[in-house]
Amino acid sequence: HAKQRNIGHLITERLTPAMADLLREIGRAGDELGVNLFVVGGFVRDLLLCRKSDDIDVVVEGDGIDFARRFILKKGGRCNTHREFCTAVMVLPNGFKIDVASARMEYYTAPAALPTVEMSSIQRDLFRRDFTINTLAVGLNKKNFGTLIDFFGAQRDLKDKTIRTLHNLSFVEDPTRVFRAIKFANRFDFTIGKLTLSLIRNAVKFDFFRKLSGRRLFSELKQILEEENPIPAIESLRNYHLEKVIHPDLIMDDSIIETLGAAQKAVSWHDLLYLNTPCMNWSIYFMVILKKCPYQVVKEICSHLRLSPSQTKLILRDRLKAEERLYILERRFPPTNSGLYALLNIFKPEHLLYIMACTRIDRVRKAVSFYYTRLKDIKPTIQGRDLIALNLKPGRTFQAILQSVLDAKLDGKLKNKKEEIAFVQKHHMPVNPDSMDKSVD
Ligand code: CTP
């Protein structure tokens, strides 16, 4: 009873030629093996929504692992298989990844809500998914290349901009889907359907999340916080009281939401100017969310969510350090650039942006962005070997000398190497005309 139409033209128009060719190649390989295969899920959804998607999910009506192995044998690359789930990940020679799943009757351990009516294996596979908008499939075999197959009203919901589960037990089967619903609603600016919304409220009321592992919860949260503008989604989490799933003592009041807005501005500023600087944007929002929690609660959250030691350090200790330095900045504003540098140079971009988000004082925010754009990367031009050339003895004092050169440079007192050397001679060397003669430019 699926709705079908051909969207071959969208494959040609909206995908890169390489991607379109790859889909055809996968289809041909399926024909050679005599299996039906489909590209499914988020890839098709994004194709219809005109959004770029880099993940290809293929479902094979047959043995997906066998298909993946043969495809890679011909095409090169490698293939990671998961026997237990009958899935494989094909990694092409250029690093591109394709997920392959098997839709075979014998693999299904009947989910609670599976209706008794006959379903083809692709239909069963799609029925087990989270939301209608993720249940579209496009045929890749020659006989049906580009045929869009819609079993569950996905096109209607894409048109209505609505997130809907396929059945009432969806959140019982997998409570992480509550977070996914919020993520998708926020990302596409969709509304959550009325029934789905009441199922979410039900999931919260009866605490379906009790058995949800901290690791999976964190993975969903992190995905929400990695969205371009996560704030409406965070507000939804609060509206549905989902912050209590993270920790019963976690409170997100209006001032936290306001600070999140400032964090978003800081993150956009950084993304715009420093596109290639790695920065874990999720961690900035996460630190703001935890801002008002006592140390012990944050510790418990980090441990429950199974954050790595380095993530925990970032969220716990380094954040406190940032708050401490912000306290100083707001009360005793450093009179010199070198003073500002000394306060901020221990921080990674994440904490500098966190400080920018947390302060309500314009001058402080500007000072941090000034540090980031103008001071952070300043280094003395001279190095240890220049000091040796000045007849100075290598040792601990070198560090102090170079630091004083850096400070003077930060404060605009030194313009070039020559001036740096003259500075060292004036401040760190006994007046000795012999050694001054040996100085280098
Ligand atoms: N899925 C699900 N239940 C989950 C997670 C995933 O049913 N808890 C299904 C969804 O239907 C989805 C598919 O598995 O289409 C692949 O998952 P994922 O890659 O997370 O989904 P995408 O829709 O591609 O999400 P994103 O765009 O965020 O990558």
pLDDT reported for residue 116: 44
Q: Is the CB of 228 under 6 A from ligand 1?
A: no
Reply yes or no on whether the pLDDT at 367 is more than 90: yes
pLDDT reported for residue 114: 54
pLDDT reported for residue 84: 87
HSE-up of residue 6 (Cα within 13 Å, Cβ side)? 8
pLDDT reported for residue 388: 93
pLDDT reported for residue 118: 63
- Regarding whether 9 and 152 lie in a shared domain, the answer is yes
Residue 81 banded pLDDT, cuts 50, 70, 90? very high
What's the chain's average pLDDT?
A: 93
Of 43-52, 120-129, 299-308, 317-326, where does mean pLDDT reach its minimum? 120-129
Q: Is the CB of 170 under 6 A from ligand 1?
A: no
Helical pair 349-358 and 281-289, crossing angle rounded to 10 deg: 40
pLDDT reported for residue 117: 53
CB 89 within 8 A of CB 98: yes
- Regarding whether 391 and 367 lie in a shared domain, the answer is no
- Regarding whether 86 and 11 lie in a shared domain, the answer is yes
Tell me the CA–centroid distance for residue 29 and ligand 1, in Å: 25
Pocket test for ligand 1, best of 43, 87, 89, 130 (most atoms within 8 A of CB): 130
pLDDT in tens, 85-142: 899 999 999 999 999 999 976 555 555 555 545 677 899 999 999 999 999 999 999 9
By C-alpha distance, which of 318, 279, 281, 282 is closest to 298? 318
Of 12-26, 30-44, 182-196, 426-440, where does mean pLDDT reach its minimum? 426-440
pLDDT reported for residue 109: 56
The backbone region for 188, taken as left when phi is positive above 0, alpha when psi lies in -120 to 50, beta otherwise, is alpha
pLDDT reported for residue 368: 97
Mean of the pLDDT values across residues 242-251? 95
Atom of ligand 1 nearest to the CA of 53: 27
Helical pair 337-344 and 362-370, crossing angle rounded to 10 deg: 90
Helices (H) and strands (E) in the chain, counts: 24, 10
* End position of a domain, from candidates 160, 177, 211: 160
CB 378 within 8 A of CB 409: yes
Pocket test for ligand 1, best of 51, 126, 134 (most atoms within 8 A of CB): 134
Mean of the pLDDT values across residues 390-404? 91
Tell me the CA–centroid distance for residue 307 and ligand 1, in Å: 22
* End position of a domain, from candidates 188, 212, 242: 242
Reply yes or no on whether the pLDDT at 434 is more than 70: no
Which element (helix H / strand E) includes 138? strand 137-139
Residue 395 banded pLDDT, cuts 50, 70, 90? confident
CB 284 within 8 A of CB 269: no
- Regarding whether 287 and 195 lie in a shared domain, the answer is no
Q: Is the CB of 176 under 6 A from ligand 1?
A: yes
pLDDT reported for residue 423: 94
Reply yes or no on whether the pLDDT at 441 is more than 60: no
Tell me, rounded to whole angstroms, the distance of Cα 344 from its chain centroid.
Answer: 25
Reply yes or no on whether the pLDDT at 438 is more than 90: no
- Regarding whether 16 and 153 lie in a shared domain, the answer is yes
The backbone region for 77, taken as left when phi is positive above 0, alpha when psi lies in -120 to 50, beta otherwise, is left
- Regarding whether 345 and 258 lie in a shared domain, the answer is yes
Q: How many Å apart are CA 320 and CA 338, to the nearest integer?
A: 22
pLDDT reported for residue 145: 97
Residue 433 banded pLDDT, cuts 50, 70, 90? low
Residue 193 banded pLDDT, cuts 50, 70, 90? very high
Of 71-75, 101-105, 156-160, 407-411, where does mean pLDDT reach its minimum? 101-105
Ligand 1, atom 9, residue with closest C-alpha: 129
Q: Is the CB of 220 under 6 A from ligand 1?
A: no
Reply yes or no on whether the pLDDT at 394 is more than 70: yes
pLDDT reported for residue 54: 83
> pLDDT above 70 covers what percent of the chain?
94
Reply yes or no on whether the pLDDT at 149 is more than 90: yes
What CATH number is given to the structural domain containing 236?
1.10.110.30
Mean of the pLDDT values across residues 253-272? 96
Token couple for 398 = 């070198």
Q: Is the CB of 177 under 6 A from ligand 1?
A: yes
User: How many domains does the chain contain in total?
Assistant: 4
By C-alpha distance, which of 366, 309, 375 is closest to 347? 375
- Regarding whether 372 and 398 lie in a shared domain, the answer is no
Residue 275 banded pLDDT, cuts 50, 70, 90? confident
Q: How many Å apart are CA 174 and CA 217, to the nearest integer?
A: 11
Reply yes or no on whether the pLDDT at 334 is more than 60: yes
Token couple for 291 = 């801002």
Mean of the pLDDT values across residues 29-56? 96
pLDDT reported for residue 262: 98
Pocket test for ligand 1, best of 87, 180, 182, 217 (most atoms within 8 A of CB): 180
Domain residues for 169?
Answer: 161-242
Residues 6+ positions from 29 with CB-CB distance below 8 Å: 67, 70, 71, 74
- Regarding whether 21 and 86 lie in a shared domain, the answer is yes
- Regarding whether 254 and 224 lie in a shared domain, the answer is no
pLDDT reported for residue 105: 62
Three-state SS at 334? coil
- Regarding whether 204 and 112 lie in a shared domain, the answer is no
DSSP 395: S
* End position of a domain, from candidates 101, 127, 160: 160
Pocket test for ligand 1, best of 59, 122, 129 (most atoms within 8 A of CB): 129
- Regarding whether 191 and 148 lie in a shared domain, the answer is no
pLDDT reported for residue 99: 97
- Regarding whether 169 and 153 lie in a shared domain, the answer is no
Bridge partners (DSSP) listed for residue 320: none
What CATH number is given to the structural domain containing 135?
3.30.460.10
